[in-house]
Amino acid sequence: MAENSPVEPAADYVTDIGLRRIDHVGIAVADLDAAIDFYQRTFGMRCVHTETNAEQGVREAMLAVGPTTEGGCVQLLAPLSPESTIAKFLDRNGPGVQQVAYTVADIDAACAALRERGMRLLYDSPRRGTADSRINFVHPKDAGGVLVELVEPAPGH
């Protein structure tokens, strides 16, 4: 039987950068409508938001996990063109998990703290994300192969 014991923080543990929760898991898909239908019919998720983000080159949908978005969301991402980041991801990997996103209290402070820790961010300054949020990404080579998205929700969200 496995024994449970508390995990002590590393000796060089640094202060919190303002992470609040897992915001969403991003999944690259070729057909957004078919993917929405699949997640709703199979898992009972509820589509709470859709939009086209031309700057990011995607059509996207947010599906609530549980009765509210407080349980986090699954974000489905479909490419707008063959040149988009999501289209390239699909060409390399096929459909599947593309990112993990965390809600942050202050994206500017979080980005500054991560840069001080040697992390490379994809954008010099945050960009507009879903529902007018502000976003940036930690380079996957600096995060164990995971594309980490930081999300500061728009006021009122």
pLDDT of residue 137: 98
pLDDT of residue 42: 97
pLDDT of residue 130: 92
Let me know if residue 9 belongs to a domain: no
- Identify the CATH number of the domain in which residue 29 sits: 3.10.180.10
Res. 4: pLDDT tops 80: no
Let me know if residue 145 belongs to a domain: yes
Res. 49: pLDDT tops 90: yes
Let me know if residue 60 belongs to a domain: yes
Total of domains in the chain: 1
Q: Which helix (H) or strand (E) holds 150?
A: strand 148-152
| Residue 7 binned pLDDT confidence (cut-offs 50, 70, 90) | low
pLDDT tens for each residue of 66-87: 887 787 899 999 999 999 999 9
Res. 15: pLDDT tops 70: no
Range of the domain at 141: 19-152
Whole-prediction pTM: 0.85
**Can you tell me the distance from the alpha carbon of 140 to that of 119, in angstroms, rounded to the nearest whole number?**
10
